[in-house]
A and B are shown apart, each in its own frame.
Chain A
Amino acid sequence: MSTERIRNFCIIAHIDHGKSTLADRLLEKTHTITSREFRHQMLDDMDLERERGITIKASAVALKLVRNGQEYNLNLIDTPGHVDFSYEVSRSLGACEGALLLVDASQGVEAQTVANAYLAMEHNLAIIPVISKIDLPQSRPYDVLTEMEKTLGISPEEAFMVSAKTGAGIDEIFDAIIKHIPPPKDSSDAPLKALIFDSVYDEYRGVIIYLRIFDGSVKVGDEIYMMKTNRSFKVEEVGVFKPKMVAKDGLSAGEVGYCIANIKSIRDIKVGDTVTHARERAAEALPGYRPPIPMVYCGIYPANNADFHPLREALERLSLNDSSFTFEPETSQALGFGFRCGFLGLLHMEIVQERLERESNINIVQTAPNVTYEILKINKEIVKVDNPEKVPPVNEIEEFREPIVRASFVLPTEYLGAIMQLAEARRGNYKGTEYLSEKRAILTYELPLSEIIFDFFDKMKSATRGYGTLDYDFIGYEHADLVKLDILVSGKRVDALSTIVHRKDADMKGRKLVKKLKNEISRHLFEVVLQAAIGSRIIARESIRPIAKNVTAKCYGGDITRKRKLLEKQKEGKKRMKSVGNVEIPQKAFLSVLSVDE
């Protein structure tokens, strides 16, 4: 097949704007899957993706379309919609010539609509604007057209209206894809140049790499060479996604598919790398991607110290399919041996934690997440600190720096005040307001990342009654007056409870934190004293009274089983705790550092 009849495209959208449903409809209309195989949101592979209604990993599918007696080969590459995964979006874009920019007819332009549209423009993709969910009674497609014109400079005439639910407008989309998205360049004769845009690990087949062939071709038996990792592999199988993997003899320029080459570990390859032939190598590699930078870190420890090795194995298993998640062993005086884990964002952290609990049977204790700080020492050395424990002594610090992001909020204008208030309270720096229409605006702030990693998103949602959306970009490090806040339990400093806070908030946060811990830690047979300190200065103190009386008077007649069950419950509760000195601290307490605002 000549590249004339190939189109490679992706769908980009804000979360929940109907991306997966539209993809389902495209699959169905092209008979890529029979209705018997059909289940909603075909492309969301993981149970978690389907449950949470979000796409986490990119995936690809080949559609066969017949138009005017011609058979076209359309490759659809699905993209994640959440801000944490924007790096995965850019990976998908690099493999396409065009993008469907999907906007919900009732929600309108949202933060990730703008962010993803700009990404697509940066990649020089042909953009087909699509307004979705036009069947809903509250839809306002014409307002949305205006918003798209204002923010993205998209002419209203270019846009298509669809309802993925009823199928209305789907055929026109196919026509637009063929008409507006350019076919890939036909360069099958050039040396092989293929982009790895994703990979998954399969227990039986090893690493499966997702490829977009830009130049040349690849077939079974070929010796391939990875230009960045300098490794060679022999191709065992190539094929396309329909959406299940279907083997083919070879893939050539313009095509999207997979390649299996006896690759044992996901660490042996690099997403963004260029695949070429070992013998006849391409002169230079494709531009590739910048590697994802973990923005949020937390400690993950086994509740039971004996589970350290099983936990390591579980983390290794998870990282097989998620190269953006990092972990390194660390030791805490309070928690023993565990791992410092890095995530793209809070959602990413939650997902990893949830998968960890679901897929392994280990009780874990997680510490409060923090960002990576930069510290300029007196001796002019710059150190990166991803754990409050690693903050050098005060007298060695010349300057404390924290990561700053540029945050864009898209929201109805009536909530501007509420969000400005929220952003100011989080040490935000106002940058501007841009009106999409009379009723909606984009508000821009520069904010310390540490202020938005925990509950900021939820707060923003409730302040805007769910109508506000947020996107952010890391812009750099800035000086800030930060201190390390320590917590002492019965006179012992608990390293896992230390946090880095702004000096002006330190007293308030210290007081609230010990109050909160007082409620989280249950009473013991002795008094438990809780203190907050900055350096050697104690700034707050609470104490937990000891248990005076805990004895069941009755023994429930002959119902000894009941008595035993009551005691079992008591003991079971204790198992999920971490004992620090002789104080039992529940897992929840380690996270209480986060929510001292309430």
Chain B
Amino acid sequence: MTSKKHILPTALYIHIPFCAKKCNYCDFNSMVSESRVVDRYLHALSKELNTLESQYTFTTIYIGGGTPSLLSAIQLEGLLRGVIRYNPTSQTQEYTVEANPGTLTADKVRLLKEYAVNRVSLGIQSFQDRQLQFLGRIHSGDDARNAFSLLRNAGFKNINIDLIFGCPEQTPDDWKKDLEIAIALNPEHISTYALTYEEETPLTRDLKNEVIRKLDEYTELEMYKTAIEYLTLKGYNHYEISNFAKSGYECSHNYVYWRNTSYVGVGAGAHSFIDGMRMSNEKDVFRYIHGMHENKKDVKSFRECLPQDHFVSETVIMALRLRQGITNTDFYERFGSTIQDQFGDTISILRKAGLVSYDDERLKLTEKGLFVADTVMAEFIYI
């Protein structure tokens, strides 16, 4: 038996670090590789999957990237078969695969269906070609619509669309149009991400060289507000900072991160949180492959035994991303104290400023707090 605190992980993340082309804004762990390398990587991945504790049962699986849909039909089938062998589908409630409209084909869609994938997250970002070009995406607006139909026609009943807003020169009207087209497709879930300028991306380089200019903060805020108002009006529940879903279609896998409970990640650079220990795998694809082939049990490059105060902080911070926030009942069950025992002073300051609401049971961001969530969250950091 494991202790009450360390519940066995129920979520599995599988990382596919390959893309047809790296997008201008992306700093995720991905690269452009030959098919041969992908084969060797998938082999290493299946090895890692087989090293996992056999008592794990995953109720959610998420294959992300990179671009999982970049895999050839044969490679994809191999991967899906390996996953099913390890974790029979009867136990899996939510099984998501990320796909790029530019690499998703009818063959691959059929395979996803065949191997019990029940949720597809489509990286559309925008339906407007000018925007897509700016972002460095490989697909067009039409490709996006076609990919969506392909999935729907194959019988997928849970599809997510990723959209990006806040690009330089994007107008609030452009954004509204993207939202309208998305709604017309009637997806079950929509994620809207504000464009982020990450270090060492072509986008940030252009910004530093003054080739592009950041959209001003007020327009970006207006766009964010538009998404919240419009999608809520169309029956989507704004349940997390960047996420909207029809009732019952909230992403269970991501809830694991937001609730700061245990999960297992496999593949290059994947993160795990098991038994109070944060870990991440070797990021470099070649070193990862090499490591797995050396018959190592794992290829961790980072381990941190999370101290209790950090754990408490993180839990509140991640939970504040959810619009429902965190309840005292839940908090007490996990940490044996109340939220105000831990953060009484902070909460009273933030409440006075109108940034959080707290009614002795539930702590959550107000709308005002939502727009400056990072500033609010920093107050819950222990230093």
Which of A's residues lie within 8 Å of B, judged by CB?
525, 547-555, 557-561, 563-564, 566-568, 570-572, 574-575
Contacts and interface: CB of A to CB of B under 8 A. Distances in A.
A563 B241 CA distance: 14
Contacts of B371: 548-551
Contacts of B372: 525, 547-551
A553 B242 contact: yes
Given A554-B196, A567-B317, A570-B378, A561 B278 contact: yes
B116 interface: no
B115 interface: no
Nearest to B263: A558
Interface stretch (B44-52, B121-129, B215-223): B215-223
A566 B381 CA distance: 10
Interface string B365-376: 000001111110
B221 A549 contact: yes
B285 interface: no
Nearest to A559: B271
B81 interface: no
Contacts of B226: none
B383 interface: yes
B325 interface: no
Contacts of B314: 560, 563-564
A18 B338 CA distance: 68
Nearest to B380: A567
B83 to A, nearest CB: 18
Interface of B: 13, 28, 64, 192-194, 196, 217-218, 220-221, 224, 241-242, 254, 257-258, 260, 263, 265, 270-273, 278, 280, 302, 304, 310, 313-314, 317-318, 321, 353, 355, 370-375, 377-379, 381, 383
Contacts of A525: 353, 355, 372, 375
Contact of A560 (B196, B241, B273, B370): B273
A554 B374 contact: no
17 contacts: A547-B372, A548-B371, A549-B220, A550-B374, A551-B241, A551-B374, A557-B13, A557-B28, A557-B64, A557-B265, A558-B13, A558-B270, A559-B271, A560-B278, A560-B314, A563-B317, A571-B378
Contact of B383 (A560, A563, A568): A568
Contacts of A551: 194, 241, 370-374
Given A549-B224, A564-B314, A568-B381, A558 B374 contact: no
A372 B285 CA distance: 66
Contacts of A568: 381, 383
A552 B241 CA distance: 9
A546 B100 CA distance: 38
Interface centre among B224, B355, B378 (most CB of A within 10 A): B378
Q: Which 10 A-B pairs have CB atoms at the shortest separation, nearest pair first? A: A558-B271, A551-B373, A553-B193, A549-B221, A570-B378, A553-B194, A571-B381, A567-B378, A571-B378, A553-B242
B355 A555 contact: no
Given A557-B257, A567-B378, A570-B375, 9 more contacts: A547-B372, A548-B221, A551-B371, A555-B257, A557-B265, A558-B265, A560-B260, A561-B271, A570-B381
A564 B373 CA distance: 13
Nearest to B368: A525
A555 B318 contact: yes
A308 B130 CA distance: 59
B221 A564 contact: no
A160 to B, nearest CB: 57
A567 B381 contact: yes
A547 B257 CA distance: 27
Contacts of A561: 271, 278, 302, 304
A571 B383 CA distance: 8
Nearest to A561: B278
B62 to A, nearest CB: 9
Contact of A553 (B196, B272, B313): B196
A77 B272 CA distance: 66
Given A549-B372, A571-B383, A558 B377 contact: no
Given A559-B280, A560-B314, A570-B374, A552 B196 contact: yes
Contacts of A549: 194, 217, 220-221, 224, 371-372
A564 B310 contact: yes
Contact of B317 (A547, A548, A564): A564
Contacts of B272: 558
Contacts of B375: 525, 547, 550, 570
Contacts of B242: 553-554
A49 B277 CA distance: 47
Contacts of B257: 555, 557-558, 560
B215 to A, nearest CB: 11
B221 A575 contact: no
A545 to B, nearest CB: 9
B94 to A, nearest CB: 16
A564 B194 CA distance: 19
A564 B273 contact: no
A549 B226 CA distance: 14
Contacts of B270: 558
A490 to B, nearest CB: 15
Interface centre among A525, A551, A557, A564 (most CB of B within 10 A): A551
B168 to A, nearest CB: 16
Nearest to A575: B383
A206 B375 CA distance: 51
A578 B375 CA distance: 17
A96 to B, nearest CB: 55
B278 A555 contact: no
B89 to A, nearest CB: 23
Contacts of A570: 374-375, 378, 381
Contact of A564 (B192, B218, B220, B381): B381
A558 B304 CA distance: 14
Contacts of B373: 550-552
A509 B353 CA distance: 35
A462 to B, nearest CB: 28
Contacts of A558: 13, 257, 263, 265, 270-273
A571 B379 CA distance: 7
Nearest to A568: B381
A596 B231 CA distance: 50
A552 to B, nearest CB: 6
Contacts of A566: 374
A572 B13 contact: no
A403 B28 CA distance: 62
Contacts of A559: 271, 280
B258 A564 contact: no
B383 A548 contact: no
A551 B224 CA distance: 11
A547 B378 CA distance: 15
A553 B265 CA distance: 21
A560 B304 contact: no
A564 B313 contact: yes
A88 B381 CA distance: 50
Nearest to B192: A553
A560 B318 contact: yes
A201 to B, nearest CB: 36
A349 B34 CA distance: 62
A473 to B, nearest CB: 49
Contacts of A564: 310, 313-314, 317, 381
Given A568-B383, A572-B383, A555 B321 contact: yes
A450 B213 CA distance: 43
B121 to A, nearest CB: 12
A563 B370 CA distance: 16
A254 B304 CA distance: 67
Contacts of B224: 549
Nearest to A569: B378
A548 B381 contact: no
